[in-house]
A and B are shown apart, each in its own frame.
Chain A
Amino acid sequence: MAVAAPPERITPPKEGVRTWPLIDQAAYVLCWVVGIGLCVIAAAIVLYMLVKGISYLKPSLFVTPPSPSLSQKASGGFSSPLVGTLVVSLIGIAIAAPMGVGIAAWLTEYRRPAGLARAVESAIEMLAGAPSIVLALFGLLIFSQGFLKFLSQGTAEGALGQSFLVAGIVMSSLALPLVVTSTREGLLALPSRVRESSLALGKTRATTIRSVLLPSIRPNVATGIVLGMGRIIGDTAIVVVLLGATLQNEPASSTPLLGFLRGTGSTMTSYVYNNSPAGEGNSPEKAYAAAFVLLVIVLILNAVVTRLAGGGSGFSLRRRLGWTR
């Protein structure tokens, strides 16, 4: 028995906020204010840096090294700091990535003895929370004495403790927790049947990790690496303490690569700091330009992370709850 459609269809209204008690309405409005306010602040920061940065940015800045001079016109560009940033982050991530993946694999796949594994986890957590300035101090301590002197320039009482190598090594401890956490998340999310089927085929666990598990979590590992690089690139404290923050890159000796790596230098972050009123302070224009370039680099890295993470796995802030209103 077919029944005809009704004459009119009423669409239900949204739950009216007007009917709520006053204090709830106030909270609702407050949430909106905060939400829009966030967008405004972010827009303000980006626009400000954009405007100021572009107005002072010149292509020549990328290729001219900074030179000591009181006037802004003659103080050169930021080619050396740019190289410095690149070198330091490469060294840092070259150390942190394999170590981080290895530690994460050990923590998830082996975990024996259990007490040791827990201790390692706590240590990684502590490392993640340690201020970079403290890490820098510690780095200075161990790298300026003892058998590690060779990593930086020697002076009368021991090594300076400041060089690209030293800074790179300490920077790796910044990136390490991020790589470990990302890789662990990826490994823990893999269903156990992947491991079981590989082991059932007679592969050792080591082979399983190397040829089955790690390739499937490549996005996670990449995310961790890029996040780590972002953290390294954005750090200033370690650079100032462990790299010397000298105006130009000053190699420690004349040996081509090793001399450079053992020498002091600067990165974009210390360059911005030095040129701002807080540092030597006489070229805020260069500071703006360098800050702009730094921001762009970091944003690009960020976009890479977003694409690697698949734009939704675990980091997406909005999730449909089934309540579409």
Chain B
Amino acid sequence: MDPLMPPPVRRIDVGQAPTIAPPRAQQPAPAAPSNGAALHRAPRRPATVTERMRLDSVWLAYGENWVVRDVSLRVNQGAVLALIGASGSGKTTLLRSMNRLTEITASAGRSGSITLDGTDIHNLEVNALRRRVSMVFQQPNPFPMSIFDNVAYALAEQRPKRGIRKRSRTPQLESAVEDALRRAGLWDEVGDDLGRSALRLSGGQQQRLCIARSLAAEPEVLLLDEPCSALDPISTAIIEELIVQLRESVAIVIVTHNLQQAFRVGDEVAFMHLGELVEYGSAEQVFDRPREERTREYVSGAFG
């Protein structure tokens, strides 16, 4: 072979059209495909639905602006609630109000009631509330500790009423950590060495670690703030599958920019626009048969 000859080039055949399915949002909403639901939704077992949190006429403000206006929702265990909407629609603020994270800002104000299992969350001690209503953020934020310490973090800080002593590797703590990692789908990948630094994991693994960390305290509600927006498609798919599996044991609220994701994982969908709750119903109803004009425009991609 003549060493000066260039290597053979693979020719790309552009005769055929690409075989990528067009994204759902580009189809006009009234023309609903009959079995569109089966195409893109993750297969799931029907689950019993129990109400966990109830939001009644919730208003939220930062400073002088009311960013959330008169929103009423239910959060159910057994069903995933997807909050969708354009930027600035207030969906993240609403999510953060559910575990009182909005209180960190001094200028925050609120009105209306949010209850967890019947008790107003503002009557609960805030840290106790946050252990029952856990949150996973957009950017994975594992602590600079080992994997084990990350997952055991919340457990070790609780009062010993669970019989778990601080930070010593008791069998109880170890089994709780393993349990959380299994539920988050991470055990197979990291179970062999839990002493590794959490920062060495890949982005998708870190996010699952954050989910495991939240699950370790066995919360009743899990709040997810665009958990996959910083991740690659494979990690996203893994986490979405996780979410569908977890919904039977934990009530899940997910805020997402990604309409396909909302359709893939959501059982109930709430569409917010400029702080108001425009439409709230089951996923099929909101995407295929939206009642409001604005909803129709959003899911068909007219804005967003």
Contacts and interface: CB of A to CB of B under 8 A. Distances in A.
A5 B67 CA distance: 11
A7 interface: yes
Contacts, number: 48
Nearest to B70: A3
Contacts of A324: 104-107
Given A12-B102, A19-B127, A324-B106, A3 B61 contact: no
B159 interface: yes
B110 A1 contact: no
Contacts of B102: 12
A6 B105 contact: no
B109 A10 contact: yes
A157 interface: no
A6 B69 CA distance: 9
Contact of B106 (A3, A8, A19, A325): A325
A113 interface: no
Given A21-B159, A323-B104, A3 B111 contact: no
B108 to A, nearest CB: 6
Given A15-B126, A19-B125, A19-B127, A3 B108 contact: no
Contacts of A193: none
B112 interface: yes
B271 interface: no
A1 B278 CA distance: 10
Interface string B99-126: 0101111111111100000000010011
A73 interface: no
A5 B107 CA distance: 17
A12 B66 contact: no
- How extensive is the interface on chain B, given as a class? 20 to 34
Interface string A5-28: 111111111010001010000000
Contact of B61 (A1, A9, A19, A21): A9
B276 interface: yes
Contacts of A7: 111
Contacts of B59: 5-6, 9
A5 B110 contact: no
A322 B111 CA distance: 23
A7 B57 CA distance: 11
A325 B104 contact: yes
Contacts of A12: 100, 102-103, 108-110, 122
Contacts of A8: 111
Contacts of A11: 108-109
A12 B104 CA distance: 9
A5 B110 CA distance: 11
A1 B70 CA distance: 12
Given A3-B276, A12-B108, A324-B106, 6 more contacts: A6-B70, A9-B109, A9-B111, A10-B109, A12-B100, A12-B110
Nearest 10 Cβ contacts at the A-B interface: A6-B111, A12-B103, A324-B106, A9-B109, A6-B59, A3-B70, A325-B106, A19-B125, A3-B69, A323-B104
